[in-house]
C-alpha cells in the first residue's frame, strides 16, 4: 500500500512539472503580461521596455521557468499582475465559493441521480421513468450556459423567486467566506448549483440505471431474492452497492474537474469562484496566476482520483493496490 501511494505521489509530481513547463511554453504565444501590469493608457515604449525588464519577462521562457521553480520550491508562488497580491492568496480566496457550489451540486446530483437512476431501473416501463429519461437527454444535450440563462430568465426575471447572480450575503468564518449560513446566501446558491448539476445528474441517472439493470439480472440477485430477502433490501444492499461504483468514480472525477473548470456556470451567474479567476486571468495575461492555478487543479484532480480509487477498494474488497 505504501509503495502504491508513493508511486501515485511520484506520478503527480511528474504531472505538475510537465503541466507548468507547458504553461510557460504557451505563455510566449499568449498576450503580453506587461500590459496587465502597467496598462496601456499611460505607457510609452520605453516604459514598457523597462517594466518588461523589471518583471524578468525579457528572458527566454526556460530561464523564466527555472526561476519560477526555484522560487516555488522556496514557497514563493509569485505575485498576480492584476490583483497585486501573492498568487496563493488570490487562489485560496476563491476556493470557498467554488467548493460550496460544486459540493452542493454534487450532493444534488448524487442524491437525485442515484434515487431516480434506481427508480428507472426498477420500474422501467413506468411513465415517470420514461419522462425522467427524456429529461436526462435534454440535460446532456443542452449547453450549460443556456440552462443557466433559462433558469435566470424563469426564476429570477419572470417569477422573481430567486436572485440572478452573485453570492449574496456571506459570513466569514476565519478564512472561509460561506454562503451556507445565511438565507440570502442559500438562495443565491440554488440556481447556479442546479445549472451545474443538470448535466451531471442526467449522466448519473443513465449510468446508474444501466448498471442497475445489468446488476439486477445477475445470479446473486436471484439468489438473494429466493433466500426470502425483502425486495427493497435486495435492490439497495446488493444491487445499488455494486451499481453505484461506476457512478461514484465518474462523480469523483467530475468533482475535480468541476472545481477547476466550472467557468461557464460561474460566468453566467457571476459566481466569484475559481472558474471566473481562471478565465479572467487568461484574458488579462495574468501568467503567475494561470500557471499556479493549473498546477493547483492538477493536484486537486490527482488527490480526488486517489480518494476515488481508495474508496473503490473499500467498496469492493476484491480490489487490492500494491
Partner 1 sequence: MQNWRTFTSGTLVFLIAVVALTCAVVAQGDGTLRIGIETSLGSMDPMGNAVTTSLSAMRNIYDGFFERSADGTIMPGLVDSWERIDQLTWRLHAREGVSFHNGNPLTAADLKFTLERTATYQQSEYQEVGGAIDRIDLVDDFTLDVFTKNPNPIFPSSIYSLAVMDQEWTTSNDDAYVSTHAMGTGAYKFAEWVPEDHLTLEANPGYWRGAPSIQRVEFRPISDEATRLAALESGDVDLITFVPIESIERLEENSDIDIIAQPADRMIFLGFEHSEGYPTADLRVRQAMYMAINIDEIIEVIWDGYATPATTIVAGPESAYPGFDGTMDRQFAYSPERARELLAEAGYPNGFEITLDSVFDRYPKDEQVSLAVTTYLRQVGIECLLNVRSRSVHFGEIMNAETDFWLTGWREGSYDLYEAFAQHIMTRDPNGSQGGWNAGWYSNADVDRLCVEANQALSADERADLLKQANRIAMEDIAVIPLYAQYDIYGARAGLINFTPRSDMYIIVRDISFK
String marking each residue 256-275 x if it binds partner 1 according to CB under 8 A? -----------xxxx-x---
Minimum distance of partner 1 from residue 214's CB (angstroms): 22
Which of 2, 3, 45, 227 lies at the binding interface for partner 1 (CB under 8 A)? Answer: 45
Minimum distance of partner 1 from residue 196's CB (angstroms): 15
Q: Quick one: DSSP state of residue 79?
A: B
Residues numbered 210 to 239 that lie near partner 1 (CB under 8 A) are 230-232
Phi and psi, residue 15, nearest 5°: -60, -45
- Give the count of residues interacting with partner 1 (CB under 8 A): 66
Residue 283 contacts partner 1 per CB under 8 A? yes
Exposure string for 268-307, b = 16+ CB within 10 A, e = fewer: bbebbbbbbbbeebbebbbbbbbbbbbbbbbbbbbebbbe
Among the residue ranges 4-12, 26-34, 123-131, 210-218, the one whose residues contact partner 1 (CB under 8 A) = 26-34
Residues numbered 155 to 214 that lie near partner 1 (CB under 8 A) are 156-157, 160-167, 170, 177, 183-184, 186-187, 190
**Cα(39)–Cα(81) distance, integer angstroms:** 11
Which of 280, 294, 300, 305 lies at the binding interface for partner 1 (CB under 8 A)? Answer: 280
The nearer residue to partner 1, 46 or 219, going by C-beta atoms, is 46
Minimum distance of partner 1 from residue 281's CB (angstroms): 10
What is the signed CA dihedral for 306, 310, 311, 313, rounded to 10 degrees?
A: 140
**Cα(162)–Cα(26) distance, integer angstroms:** 41
C-alpha cell at 122: 426498477
Q: Are 306 and 253 in contact (CB under 8 A)?
A: no
Which of 7, 13, 26, 54 lies at the binding interface for partner 1 (CB under 8 A)? Answer: 54
Check residue 30 and give left, alpha or beta (phi > 0: left; psi -120 to 50: alpha). Answer: beta
The nearer residue to partner 1, 179 or 256, going by C-beta atoms, is 179
String marking each residue 56-95 x if it binds partner 1 according to CB under 8 A? -------------------------xxxxxx--x---xx-
Minimum distance of partner 1 from residue 131's CB (angstroms): 16
Minimum distance of partner 1 from residue 267's CB (angstroms): 6
Residue 36 contacts partner 1 per CB under 8 A? yes
Name all contacts of 172-180 with Cβ < 8 Å and 24+ positions apart.
Answer: 175/92, 176/96, 177/93, 177/96, 177/97, 178/96, 178/100, 179/97, 179/100, 180/100
The nearer residue to partner 1, 165 or 305, going by C-beta atoms, is 165
Q: Are 20 and 65 in contact (CB under 8 A)?
A: yes
Minimum distance of partner 1 from residue 149's CB (angstroms): 6
Radius of gyration from C-alpha coordinates of the chain: 24
Q: Are 57 and 93 in contact (CB under 8 A)?
A: no
Q: Quick one: DSSP state of residue 176?
A: E
Residue 41 contacts partner 1 per CB under 8 A? yes
**Cα(286)–Cα(243) distance, integer angstroms:** 44
String marking each residue 100-139 x if it binds partner 1 according to CB under 8 A? ---------------x------------------------
Residues that bind partner 1 (CB under 8 A): 30-48, 51, 54, 81-86, 89, 93-94, 97, 115, 149, 152-153, 156-157, 160-167, 170, 177, 183-184, 186-187, 190, 230-232, 267-270, 272, 276-277, 280, 283-285
Amino acid at each position: 500500500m505504501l509503495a502504491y501511494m508513493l508511486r501515485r505521489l511520484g506520478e503527480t509530481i511528474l504531472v505538475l512539472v510537465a503541466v507548468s513547463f507547458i504553461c510557460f511554453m504557451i505563455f510566449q504565444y499568449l498576450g503580453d503580461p506587461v500590459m496587465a501590469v502597467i496598462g496601456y493608457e499611460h505607457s510609452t515604449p520605453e516604459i514598457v521596455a523597462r517594466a518588461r525588464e523589471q518583471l524578468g519577462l525579457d528572458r527566454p521562457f526556460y530561464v523564466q521557468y527555472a526561476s519560477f521553480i526555484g522560487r516555488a520550491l522556496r514557497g514563493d508562488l509569485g505575485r498576480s499582475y492584476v490583483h497585486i497580491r501573492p498568487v496563493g492568496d488570490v487562489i485560496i480566496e476563491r476556493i470557498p465559493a467554488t467548493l460550496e457550489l460544486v459540493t452542493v451540486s454534487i450532493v444534488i446530483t448524487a442524491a437525485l441521480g442515484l434515487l431516480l437512476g434506481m427508480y428507472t431501473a426498477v420500474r422501467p416501463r413506468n411513465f415517470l421513468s420514461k419522462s425522467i429519461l427524456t429529461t436526462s437527454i435534454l440535460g446532456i444535450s443542452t449547453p450549460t450556459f443556456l440552462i443557466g440563462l433559462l433558469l435566470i430568465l424563469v426564476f429570477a426575471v419572470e417569477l422573481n423567486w430567486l436572485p440572478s447572480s452573485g453570492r449574496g450575503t456571506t459570513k466569514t468564518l476565519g478564512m472561509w467566506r460561506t454562503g451556507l449560513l445565511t438565507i440570502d446566501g442559500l438562495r443565491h446558491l440554488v440556481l447556479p448549483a442546479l445549472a451545474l448539476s443538470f448535466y451531471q445528474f442526467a449522466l448519473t441517472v443513465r449510468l446508474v440505471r444501466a448498471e442497475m439493470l445489468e446488476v439486477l439480472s445477475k445470479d446473486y440477485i436471484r439468489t438473494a431474492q429466493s433466500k426470502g430477502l425483502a425486495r427493497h433490501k435486495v435492490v439497495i444492499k446488493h444491487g445499488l452497492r455494486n451499481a453505484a461504483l461506476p457512478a461514484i468514480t465518474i462523480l469523483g472525477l467530475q468533482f475535480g474537474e468541476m472545481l477547476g473548470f466550472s467557468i461557464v456556470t460561474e460566468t453566467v451567474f457571476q459566481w466569484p469562484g475559481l472558474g471566473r479567476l481562471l478565465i479572467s486571468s487568461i484574458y488579462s495575461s495574468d501568467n503567475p496566476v494561470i500557471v499556479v492555478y493549473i498546477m493547483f487543479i492538477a493536484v486537486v484532480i490527482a488527490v480526488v482520483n486517489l480518494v476515488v480509487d481508495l474508496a473503490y477498494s473499500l467498496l469492493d474488497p476484491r480490489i487490492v493496490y500494491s
